[in-house]
Chain A
Amino acid sequence: MAESEVPQEEKTIPFFPDHLLTEARVAVVILFIIAGIGIYALHSPVGLGDPADPMNTPAHTKSEWYFLFLYQILKYVPKSIGALLPFVAVLVLALWPFLDRKTDTKSARRNRFILATVLVAAIIALTLIGEFS
């Protein structure tokens, strides 16, 4: 069978070494970034804030940036709803393929893209509001 008879998407390469080599290229870039972070930190370490003091509540306590949007949501909704929201969201996310069982189509894919974009934009917006308020 001639090479050209195989459709483009059916073509394969062996996992080792071909595919692993493409992965290794990415890995080398990451390693360089990691090494750069390490060398930079030899001059200026990450550092620490003031030691923890349970008696002294600082004026602005902020969480890690990836939990900041959850904190921000809490400012707009009641506490119990805000506490349950992440669990419900994760549950919906985990069970999504069991709820959305139809064969995939282009329009479904576009809808998912729009949904993801809106959600990510909302999360980024909330994070930014939380960071600069």
Chain B
Amino acid sequence: MAQKRHRIAVGVMLLVVIVSLAVILAPKEVAAAPFDPALEAHSLSEAELALVHEAVPPAPVQDTCQHCHLSGSIEDMWTPAWRWLVFSVMGVVFVYGSYRMGSAWVTRKPWKPLTARAAEWLDERFQIIEPIRKMLSKPVPIFATRWMYCLGGITFMLLVIQAVTGVLLTMYYKPTPDEAYASIQFIENEVRFGSAIRAIHHWAANGTIIMVVAHLLRVFITGAFKPPRELNWFTGVLLFVLTLGFGFTGYLLPWDQRAFWATTVGTEIGGGIPQIGELALVFLRGGWDVTAITLSRFFALHVLVLPAIIVILLAGHFWMIRRQGIARPL
């Protein structure tokens, strides 16, 4: 009986979800032209109409709400705060209710959280709980809680922040000389929270460099690179170089004077290497000069190549530290 009741309840909830989705996703009618009393009362000439429109600009055709949110033309960022509050509370109640309800679909068995059921379901198939438990309960020596052992973790955290903000920036950035500068102006002035995202990406990049160097110095001075951890040190140095590579390639992307000439001079130095200098310079610039090709090449390096390499190296770095343990201080 109780089982049936639950099924009915779940069915009703599904119905509600489907109906609300249908309402939300249904195609909207294009907004009709706004009622213009001046136009209705008298028949105005073209010039008079222009005057009216100058005083009261016609409403934009787009969905105004969406438009204002995307363009950030709502000056006061806290205006819709009460809406956020009400909707988020409703959302939390809805999600929690669904979670509780979904957790109780088999009534003969004691109530169990949905997550526990999901974990059991996965464990039946892949036997993952035991290895995960082992991994989580791995003992960490107490000396590793000293402050200087957190530098690598901070570096990793900053890299994650860089990845998140970088993805957000990529959605608006355009890697061509004609549009790069303007697209960053668009991010800073038009996109909601765009200036915050860019500033975080900018300053966290500087912070990453500082933290990488601090971590490197800590490992170097405390002698944590000593055998058997040579390879972990080696990947660490590669990661350090990659971080600098991120800095070098990312610096060109705003395409302002400073970026352009710093890259010109920087690649020029690469051209000073004996024997392979010219090859390196042409390879970096995609030609003899810093051009559109250089920009798209640096962009590809910055958002595709370097991230892929850094993820692989980080996985190796973490796997090795897990495997070999944290080096004991002298």
**In the bound complex, CA of A46 to CA of B154 (Å):** 23
Is A104 a contact partner of B330 (Cβ separation < 8 A)? yes
Beyond A26-B150, A58-B258, A97-B230, 16 extra complex contacts between A and B, CB < 8 Å: A10-B141, A37-B196, A37-B204, A38-B199, A46-B199, A54-B260, A61-B261, A63-B262, A83-B272, A97-B227, A100-B226, A101-B227, A104-B330, A105-B330, A112-B220, A116-B220
The chain B residue sitting closest to A101, CB to CB, is: B227
A1 in the interface (beta carbon within 8 A)? no
Contacts of A98 in B (CB 8 A): 230
**In the bound complex, CA of A100 to CA of B222 (Å):** 14
B143 in the interface (beta carbon within 8 A)? yes
The chain B residue sitting closest to A123, CB to CB, is: B213
Is A37 a contact partner of B150 (Cβ separation < 8 A)? no
> Which chain B residues numbered 180 to 226 have a C-beta less than 8 Å away from chain A?
181, 184-185, 188-189, 193, 195-200, 202-204, 206, 209, 217, 220-223, 225-226
Contacts of A38 in B (CB 8 A): 193, 196-197, 199-200
Is A83 a contact partner of B269 (Cβ separation < 8 A)? yes
Is A16 a contact partner of B136 (Cβ separation < 8 A)? yes
A66 in the interface (beta carbon within 8 A)? yes
Contacts of A94 in B (CB 8 A): 233-234, 237-238
A8 in the interface (beta carbon within 8 A)? yes
Is A52 a contact partner of B257 (Cβ separation < 8 A)? yes
Q: Which residues of B contact A (CB under 8 A)?
A: 77, 135-145, 150, 153-154, 157-158, 161, 177, 181, 184-185, 188-189, 193, 195-200, 202-204, 206, 209, 217, 220-223, 225-227, 229-230, 233-234, 237-238, 240-241, 244, 247-248, 251, 254-262, 264-266, 269-274, 277, 289-290, 328, 330
> Which chain A residues numbered 88 to 118 have a C-beta less than 8 Å away from chain B?
90, 93-98, 100-101, 103-106, 108-109, 112-113, 116
What 8 A-B pairs are tightest by C-beta distance, nearest first?
A: A41-B199, A12-B139, A38-B196, A83-B272, A52-B260, A45-B195, A16-B136, A61-B261
Is A42 a contact partner of B137 (Cβ separation < 8 A)? no
**In the bound complex, CA of A34 to CA of B210 (Å):** 15
Q: From residue A103, how far is it (CB to closest CB) to chain B in Å?
A: 8
Contacts of B184 in A (CB 8 A): 48
Q: Which of A10, A49, A84, A90 is the most central at the interface, judged by chain B CB atoms within 10 Å of its CB?
A: A49
Please classify the interface of chain A as helix (H, G, I), strand (E, B), loop, or mixed, using the class held by over half of its residues: helix
User: CB-CB contacts of A26-37 with B at 8 A, as 1s and 0s?
Assistant: 110010001001
Q: How many residues of A contact B (CB 8 A)?
A: 71
A5 in the interface (beta carbon within 8 A)? no
Q: From residue A5, how far is it (CB to closest CB) to chain B in Å?
A: 15
**In the bound complex, CA of A12 to CA of B256 (Å):** 52
User: CB-CB contacts of A43-61 with B at 8 A, as 1s and 0s?
Assistant: 0011111111110111001
Q: From residue A58, how far is it (CB to closest CB) to chain B in Å?
A: 5
Is B244 a contact partner of A12 (Cβ separation < 8 A)? no
Within 8 Å by CB of A109, from B258, B270, B289, B330, lies B330
With A26-B153, A71-B265: A49-B258 Cβ-Cβ less than 8 Å? yes
Is A15 a contact partner of B136 (Cβ separation < 8 A)? yes
Contacts of B137 in A (CB 8 A): 14-16
Contacts of A50 in B (CB 8 A): 256-257
**In the bound complex, CA of A67 to CA of B256 (Å):** 18
**In the bound complex, CA of A35 to CA of B2 (Å):** 49
Contacts of A22 in B (CB 8 A): 145, 150
With A14-B137, A46-B202, A97-B225: A82-B272 Cβ-Cβ less than 8 Å? yes
Is B221 a contact partner of A74 (Cβ separation < 8 A)? no
Is B260 a contact partner of A8 (Cβ separation < 8 A)? no
Q: Which of B140, B202, B248 is the most central at the interface, judged by chain A CB atoms within 10 Å of its CB?
A: B140
The chain A residue sitting closest to B243, CB to CB, is: A66
**In the bound complex, CA of A46 to CA of B256 (Å):** 13
Within 8 Å by CB of A93, from B200, B237, B266, lies B237
Is A83 a contact partner of B270 (Cβ separation < 8 A)? yes
Is B266 a contact partner of A14 (Cβ separation < 8 A)? no
Contacts of A37 in B (CB 8 A): 196, 199-200, 203-204
Is A109 a contact partner of B222 (Cβ separation < 8 A)? yes
With A51-B255, A83-B272, A98-B230: A9-B138 Cβ-Cβ less than 8 Å? no
Within 8 Å by CB of A34, from B161, B229, B238, B254, lies B161
Within 8 Å by CB of A15, from B139, B257, B328, lies B139
